[in-house]
Amino acid sequence: MKNNIKLLLLILPYFLFSFTTQEDQLSYFVTAKSGLNYRDDANGKILGKLPYLAEVKIVAYTGVFDEIKDENKLIKGEWVGVQQNNKTVYVFNAFLSTSKVELNQEQKTIPNNDQENLYAGFKLFNLNANSDVENSPGFVNLSELLDYEEEQGVSMVPQKYLDSISKEESRSYLKIEDTYRDYFFKNTKIAKTDKLFIYNYELDVLLTFNLKDLDVVIYLSPYEGHTSGITDSDYMYGFKIDAKHLKNWGYYYQNSFVYLGKENPFTRGKMKPMVWTRISPSQFPVDLKQYDVNIDQKLKGLYTFINDDLTYYYSDYGHLVVLDAEKKVKLNKILYQGESASLAPISIVGEESSELEKKQWAGTLFKDKPSVLFGFHYVSFGCPAITVLDGKSSYIRILCDNRH
């Protein structure tokens, strides 16, 4: 009997090792559209970012499970080790997928190769608020520009804000000055002589600030959920905008974009909320039968909207078509729906409750640039994008803090 137990103890580790190795032959793909942070340990210091759709193989299971609140959704997963440059780094596996079908669908509808995108170098941000109280200070989060690998050995955070902070400090903008401020500009490669432009396209209000006059602040990421054991990478970094400039801008300052540079890129008064009119199937400009989906889904709701010389068509299924004055197709695609993004509600003429939504906007947003449209997705993982109607599938990705 003892010999049998010894034999079992010798075989069992080999069996377990073989099982894990066989499972790890699977390829996993990054599903977070703005990339997935990899760390030096489970929920440890951020070392870099894996790009969207990057292929990885899991080499270690840590047994460390975590929950992340993202867009009011509770995301559960495990911190796993993957191979990166011959080193084991750690990622949150809720943003990995083996599903090639879903990824292929995303690739068809959401461009991911910035080298083919004419607007890849166009850096655009959102204006955020850390409170649901109207007229609270605004925050331009520039964490996406940080190079954490370059930061090795140099801290952008004063020592008093590391290791542990008070609960009040964890929910406050903390100003950084002197050498910390200088290194922030150096790391993000932002020129101190640049300006910051905020355009509220709903109110048609443009604000301009000199960067040298703005406070650089840090704010503890809500994804971290702790006030001790704090490191540089647990903070978000950016500029604070005084609330006095943002009166009557509403909650969270959602209908605005931010640009950093020498010149203002925005044009004013040419964006319109898309309020859709219902139409019959015969008025929809493309043959719906060619798409592999139940006919009832295709015809559930069909709509049109006209702005300047462009006519927009949309279906509840997420089919979006744009025609110019000569009936030439400027855009024809089915919008992605899945784990990382869902379709936003639309405003419909004559339906009062929906007319208040004003999620989708269209028109000319930038000087000497083609028309744009945006607002069709609620994005859970990654960052939203603005579609440019130039006939080349161009887009402008909003740089947001993908803290997953």
pLDDT digits (tens, 9 = 90+) for 260-296: 999 999 999 999 999 999 998 889 998 766 655 555 5
| pTM for the full predicted model | 0.73
Say yes or no to pLDDT of 2 above 50.
Answer: no
Using one digit for the tens of pLDDT, what is the confidence trace for 302-344? Answer: 999 999 999 999 998 888 999 999 999 999 888 877 767 788 9
- Specify the residue for token string 């719906």: 288
Query: Are 36 and 49 a contacting pair, CB within 8 Å?
Result: yes
What is the rounded CA–CA span in Å between residue 25 and residue 325? Answer: 53
% of the chain exceeding 70 in pLDDT: 76
What is the rounded CA–CA span in Å between residue 314 and residue 326? Answer: 19
Q: Tell whether the torsion through CA atoms of 98, 81, 223 and 403 is positive or negative.
A: negative
Closest CA to 180 of 162, 147, 156: 156
Using one digit for the tens of pLDDT, what is the confidence trace for 77-100? Answer: 788 889 888 888 999 888 888 754
What are the Cα distances from residue 296, in Å, to 218, 235, 300, 334?
A: 50, 48, 6, 16
**Backbone φ and ψ of 319, nearest 5°:** -85, 120
Q: In what order do the strands lie in the sheet with 302-307?
A: 329-334, 319-323, 310-315, 302-307, 275-278, 347-348
The reported pLDDT for the residue numbered 70 is 57
Where residue 375 falls (left for φ over 0; alpha for ψ -120 to 50; beta otherwise) is: left
The reported pLDDT for the residue numbered 293 is 54
Neighbour-count burial for 209-246, b at 16+ CB within 10 Å, e otherwise: bebeebbbbbbbbebbeebeebebbbbbbbbbbebeeb
Q: How many CB atoms lie within 10 A of CB 309?
A: 10
Say yes or no to pLDDT of 368 above 70.
Answer: yes
Task: Flag the least confident range among 182-191, 250-259, 392-401.
Answer: 392-401
Query: Are 240 and 137 a contacting pair, CB within 8 Å?
Result: yes
Give the chain's radius of gyration (CA, Å). Answer: 24
Q: How does residue 74 score in pLDDT terms, banded at 50, 70 and 90?
A: low
Q: How does residue 389 score in pLDDT terms, banded at 50, 70 and 90?
A: very high
Say yes or no to pLDDT of 113 above 60.
Answer: no
Neighbour-count burial for 4-25, b at 16+ CB within 10 Å, e otherwise: eeeeeeeeeeeeeeeeeeeebe
